[in-house]
Chains A and B, each alone.
Chain A
């Protein structure tokens, strides 16, 4: 009877906690799945490149660079590691930033040529949360001031939405079993944030080739 008493006490506290959450109108944070949908925010003063790197003019003609919200939602929790030092030169299309999620990585290419003047040292040991704010990656002194190829404001948001549609198709093609992505794509359902973490290394590599080059 002691064994039953202990187990029932354990289950009593578990059920009581779920009832407390229900009474508070909250959901258990571990059960909450954030839906990756078409709603994107993009700062008015920033520009976006097709490699999912945003650029923003700062003082002395420098540009601040970082990853966009699309990447954050696709990978969920990630850390950023700039792979170039301050003072180094980076060519357009050259890897300059690494995102680490779990034990895997993806590389980001620079959308612009220039000299890296500052690296965001606060990124070390930090999970990216504020991708357009505190969690910028580098500041670069561009070789050219021509920024016409980049999109801004509503064009940038429209492009992110198009990328989302392309990404949804990519996931649907890669997911033999819909529950892998926590979605019913065929029924027009949504995908969840961090969906890419559920896929294998080959899919991540293909994502990198199709979305980050």
Chain B
């Protein structure tokens, strides 16, 4: 069947065609032919956005998993599957995106054989590999349920909790280690963003923004599948998100005061303005809105707040990885059209994959499984 031509489908196809052309340039022309990266500025949009933002926004998966399966707050269960799928696809795209940025992508497997345990990148590589495998195992019950493989499903449920605990540990290590990557370049970074506590900030902001990504993803799914949203659950998720982000901000503020770097914020320049913008749209405005029940339970304000939090998160990660480095190196960087088109293509591929999977597997159904149904019937029979 030929899909109906819609505005977004046309846009998506154009993006993918452009992305494929840029992929060709990257593969056959190398980094210099396809990017504005240089030896002076080796990490650009692909690392700043595809990796740092991609991994951070995938944190909704482990946050919701921890809430539902470890803290046993089961009412959030309907959000777990879409969050896990988002995280799983997010990590696959991170790996895919990394292949573009690596000078020799065909050597990506080296981290498995040639160990360098003192390198943060070694930790990042292993966490990405292991956590992607864990996300696959967390998502596999959906596939087993679809094909009614009840014995395997029962087994996966038995090992589910340990898997999820491993997932939370790996995520904690991974989210923070992305912040640790920047600990080796204090002299190259603006002190507004550099701090020995960067791993802590990366971890906290990933939880806050990841939870907002769960809200954003629910709205995208509602749009794609013409369905409703779990508004009551999402409004609570929004509240948790802004509280976490505010805790992160308070720690950062204390850090700036103790280190004496607070003075940098009293001087008005491009960098202090970027920081103010980051905290204003990413923390203060959403906090002011979502702390109030009337705004939190309003679907439009909830959506607007999630968009603001994600925007603030984008600013934060790109400020840390690009803005904060530019003034110190004396080199300016702006991504090439190829870098932009590849990034957009990865987002489109992620959305297509999500839609395809959600359409064919029980991602959004409330979890009342066959065994539970049978068990309930048996309980009733025994009781009678």
Which B326-384 residues sit within 8 Å CB-CB of chain A?
A: 333-335, 362, 365-366, 368-370, 373, 376-377, 380-381, 384
- Tell me whether B107 is interfacial, beta carbon within 8 Å: no
Give the contacting residue for B227; candidates A2, A14, A29; CB below 8 A.
A29
Interface size class of A (residues with CB under 8 A): 35 or more
CB of A116 to closest CB in B, whole Å: 12
- Tell me whether B8 is interfacial, beta carbon within 8 Å: yes
CA gap between A179 and B292 in the complex, in Å: 11
Residues of B within 8 A of A180 (CB): 293, 297
Do A5 and B293 touch (CB < 8 A)? Answer: no
Do A30 and B307 touch (CB < 8 A)? Answer: no
Residues of A within 8 A of B300 (CB): 31
- Tell me whether A77 is interfacial, beta carbon within 8 Å: yes
Query: Given A28-B223, A77-B228, A103-B74, is A182 in contact with B297 using a C-beta cutoff of 8 Å?
Result: yes
Do A10 and B7 touch (CB < 8 A)? Answer: no
CA gap between A180 and B235 in the complex, in Å: 12
CA gap between A119 and B226 in the complex, in Å: 31
CB of A192 to closest CB in B, whole Å: 9
- Tell me whether B160 is interfacial, beta carbon within 8 Å: no
Which B62-81 residues sit within 8 Å CB-CB of chain A?
A: 74-75, 77-78
CA gap between A127 and B227 in the complex, in Å: 12
Residues of B within 8 A of A44 (CB): none
Do B78 and A6 touch (CB < 8 A)? Answer: no
CA gap between A83 and B228 in the complex, in Å: 28
CA gap between A10 and B311 in the complex, in Å: 8
Residues of A within 8 A of B384 (CB): 84, 88
Residues of A within 8 A of B225 (CB): 29
Query: Given A30-B229, A124-B370, A124-B373, is A10 in contact with B310 using a C-beta cutoff of 8 Å?
Result: yes
CA gap between A44 and B366 in the complex, in Å: 32
Do A1 and B380 touch (CB < 8 A)? Answer: no
Residues of B within 8 A of A88 (CB): 381, 384
Residues of A within 8 A of B156 (CB): none
Residues of B within 8 A of A126 (CB): 365
CB of A118 to closest CB in B, whole Å: 14
Binding site for A on B (CB under 8 A): 7-8, 44-45, 48-49, 74-75, 77-78, 218-219, 222-223, 225-230, 232-233, 274, 293-294, 297-300, 303, 307, 310-311, 314-315, 318-319, 322-323, 333-335, 362, 365-366, 368-370, 373, 376-377, 380-381, 384
11 new A-B contacts, CB < 8 A, other than A20-B8, A103-B74, are A3-B315, A6-B314, A7-B315, A30-B218, A30-B299, A81-B376, A83-B380, A84-B380, A85-B380, A102-B78, A180-B297
